Structure 1
Amino acid sequence: MSLSTFVLLTTFVSCCHGAKILLMPTPLTSHCLEIMSIGQALLKRGHDVTLFAVLSDSKSCIGKFDMETFKEKFTLIVPDLDPSIQKAHDDVMTTVGKLIFNRGRNVGNVFELLKPMIHNHCSAAMKDRVVLERLKKDNYDIALIDRMPGSECLFAIAAYLGVPTAAVFSYLDPRDTGMPLQSNTLPHLMSSFTNDMTFPERFLNTLSFFASRIMYKVFLTSADYSMLDEKLEGVDANNLVTKSLLL
């Protein structure tokens, strides 16, 4: 083969490497399934995917997908936690679930329970330093984080790891996206309204948005991320959310 023929052939050959992607769901099976469906699509495209499951029922989540096919590309990481932490989380989630399905009622009780639930989840996510150091050494290209109230600590962990983030969520909160509040067409998550609302319903829906923001301030206090890194002391994780590469 002549040199000119070899050079010509190399122009038709391309080489690419898959990205290393970290999935970080909130501790709800349905949300883990949602983010894992994205993970499976990424695995099919040749990327390396790691699921960081904190207080999630990882077996129920992964069992829905054919992970055996991608065993060389997929990694499950579960922090080593005291069983009492998992039990405390499960007990709170059972109560929260009952209140949420009773839509529009006992909203204040839901917010009261969210505070210990979020504190428990954040503490669990940041507790196992061995796991966090392992994640840091893996040098991920991007972290896909399930954006829900209280998931701010996951964005703080991504900041500690030095990984850019993309927020994944089925409910777009105007505070995260920076888009104008459209309470006339966007029903509040805790309401029973649809996007076709009467004027009284739009008025109540608007009040719900403003009331929930006040409740967030009262009940959902920021965690202390300095335990991860001194550089994160005083960091507002909500700002980390809005700075994500993709929302």
Structure 2
Amino acid sequence: MGTGPKRRCFVILLVFLCFLIRHRSSAEKVLLVPLPTANSHWMALAKIGRALVDKGHIVTVVVSEDIVEKRRTDWPDFQFEAFQDKGTHTRLQDMQDQAFSSAKVLSLYKFIEVIDGYSEESKQYCSVLLGDRNLLDRLKTSQCSVVISDSFFPCGAILSAHLDIRVPHIAVTLVELYLLDEKATGVPLPLSYVPSIATDFTDDMTFVQRLQNIVLSTLDSTISPWVAGRLYDELVHKYIGEEETIQSVTSRTDLWLYCRTDNVLDYPRPTMPNMVQVGGLNVRRPHPLSEDMEAFVQSSGDDGVIVVSFGSMVKTMSTERREVFAAAFARLRQKVVWRYLGEKPTGLGNNTKLLAWLPQNDLIAHPKTRAFITHAGSNGLYEALHHGVPMVCLPLFGDQPANAARVVARGLGVKLDFSTVTAEQLYQAILHVVTNNRYCMILHTICEVNAGKHSLYSIIRFISFSTFYVLFRSYRETAIRLSRLHRDQPQSPMERAVWWIEHVIKHGRLPHLRARAVELPWYQYYLLDVAVFLFGVCSAVLGTVWYSCSFFCRTICCKSGAKLKSQ
């Protein structure tokens, strides 16, 4: 081989090595601190991690030893740091399964009781994690560039501050349990049009709803941070400093990624520069269905398919509820794909397929999907919004009633009460959402009148309402229109999340994005010191004027009295 070819090979090899070195130097170490349980929370954090891996970064996840092998199998692109959790993860999983594995509406009292027990055990999990010196030494040695944690689990903020106060911390938020973000971001929340997540109100509230909203929001924003302090302040004192609290540690968070909100589905409200809406980051391009699933979907013909899922935590229903659902589905002309792990309902129709797991995003994206029956969890809600599929919502607990209220307010679907809905009501709701031509519903009701099921007055009233309502868009048309709005962004939600994370990695902590309100004491934030000063000044001025007038009047009166006496 001549000198020329050797030189060309050397140059090519040198360029290739330079490319590898440059690519490797751009790789940053990212530490993920997930919630111990709740698969929907983990999936949001894991998908962000996978997107960062695709960008060339190294992602490490902190998990307990009893699930590390499953995580390695499911997510081979990640590195894992495991620790002995002393049984806390198993107890947390048992609590979750006992409370949420069977679909049912939890009362506010019962939900608070469940969350209180879960929070206590989560604190123990955090205590064991922070107490593992070998784990902390390994994490410190790795020198990560950023820590990303689930805000539902405040332990991530403590771990980040303990490892290195200079390392940026990013919070991924699906539901903010302790409302620490309100103080941590300093964002104002006008209760006249910003509904509490504990309600199903919209931004258009009546007087009574505004009154309820003020009471609930005030109680929640007072009690929740106090509960967080009761649970985690001791750990903060031990691992960060005596002068610190869980609120002060959380307030150092550089970036908040809100997975539950976006500009299309959420109500407009104030935000801060370090609050980034990434609702829908869980949505991905659909993959082809399996051969048998595709065959089942195609067998539906022009009628299409209804997808039914109540989330990853819910596995079964009571006998009475599952028979109600099965009876309603059996009456449909559409095929039904139902994620259900419990005993097979006796009234299950031939049109319904039960699955222990289903490719939810791929099914919702399928052209033959006509509606999505859901508990109104954030992940499924944004999949339906992205792919333009209307919904029938049966919320169960947590933020689901508030999510369902947003669906109804935007015209994306209807809301039903899971505990009391009948097979007839569910069937009519699905028909109402699926049918693009609402006159079909009128004809259906006319047939029922002829069969003696309704009075003449009720059919006339129904026809009047339906004739008026048909002037407006159908749910399907509204879903498609909102889907176009949701997709029409300079970046997808995931691209936006990754851009901001890399922005934080590149520039370090971002104090210029944090509002000064975070550092103000409450009396300064609400301008009470200014109010007291102005009140004092006004009082002094008014008092001086009053005293001067009184003195002047007394002087005049005295002179007048003296003059009268002299006369």
* TM interval, short-chain normalised: 0.7 to 0.9
- Given candidates 161, 164, 170, the residue that maps to 2:163 is 161
How far apart in 1 are the matches of 2:141 and 2:205? 51
The 8 Å contact of residues 184 and 253 in structure 2, kept in 1 or not, is answered as no
**1:178 equivalenced with 2:182 (yes/no):** no
- CA offset at residue 53 of structure 1? 2.1
> 1:18 Cα shift?
1.1
- Residue of 238, 241, 244 corresponding to 2:250: 241
User: CA separation of 1:232/1:131 partners in 2, compared to 1, >3 Å: closer, same or farther?
Assistant: same
- Higher mean C-alpha deviation, range 17-26 or range 50-59: 50-59
Structure 1-normalised TM-score?
Answer: 0.76
Alignment equivalent of 1:117, drawn from 121, 126, 141: 121
Please say if residues 72 and 80 of structure 2, whose CA atoms lie closer than 8 Å, have aligned partners that are also in contact: no
Cα distance in 2 between the residues matched to 1:169 and 1:226: 21
- On the 8 A contact 2:184/2:251 being kept in 1, the answer is yes
Verify: 1:200 aligned to 2:203, yes or no: no
**1:181 maps to amino acid:** L
Name the aligned partner's letter for residue 102 of structure 1: L
CA RMSD of aligned residues (A): 3.4
The farther-off stretch of 153-162 and 53-62 is 53-62
Indicate conservation of the 8 Å contact 1:226/1:233, yes or no. Answer: yes
Counterpart of 2:234 (choices 206, 218, 224) is 224
- Structure 2 length-normalised TM: 0.36
Distance 1:39 1:152, change over 3 A: same
Partner-residue secondary structure (3-state), 1:197: coil
* Alignment coverage as a number of residue pairs: 229
Using CA pairs under 8 Å that are at least 6 residues apart, name the structure with larger relative contact order, 1 or 2: 1
- Name the aligned partner's letter for residue 143 of structure 1: V
In structure 2, runs of 5+ residues without a counterpart are 5-10, 257-567
Q: Secondary structure at the match of 1:40?
A: helix
CA distance in structure 2 between the partners assigned to 1:62 and 1:185 by the alignment: 45
Matched, 1:36 2:60: no
**Distance change >3 Å, CA 176–CA 217, structure 1 → 2:** closer
Letter in 2 for 1:161: L
Does the CA-based 8 Å contact 2:170-2:255 persist in structure 1?
A: yes
Of the three residues 57, 78, 87, the one matched with 1:47 is 57
Task: Check 1:121–1:48 CA distance in 2 against 1; reply closer, same or farther (3 A cut).
Answer: same
What is the distance in 2 between the residues matched to 1:201 and 1:139? 50
1:90 matched residue in structure 2 = 93
Which structure has the bigger radius of gyration?
A: 2
**Secondary structure in structure 2 of the residue aligned to 1:81:** coil
Q: Which runs of 5+ in 1 are unaligned?
A: none
- Kindly provide the CA deviation profile for residues 1-38 of structure 1, in whole angstroms up to 9, marking residues without a partner as x: 9xxxx9xxx9xx87342110001112222111110110
Q: Alpha carbons of 1:238 and 1:62: their partners in 2 closer, same or farther (altered >3 Å)?
A: farther
Q: Which amino acid aligns with 1:224?
A: E
Structure 2 equivalent of residue 215 of structure 1: 223
For the 8 Å contact 2:158–2:249, the answer to whether it is kept is yes
| Residue 24 (str. 1) matches residue 33 (str. 2) | yes
**Residue from 75, 81, 85 that aligns with 1:81:** 85
Q: CA deviation at 1:99?
A: 11
How much does 1:246 deviate? 1.0
Q: 1:133 to 1:31 in 2, by over 3 A?
A: same
8 Å CA contact 2:64–2:85 kept in 1: the answer is: no
Matched residue of 1:233: which SS? Answer: coil
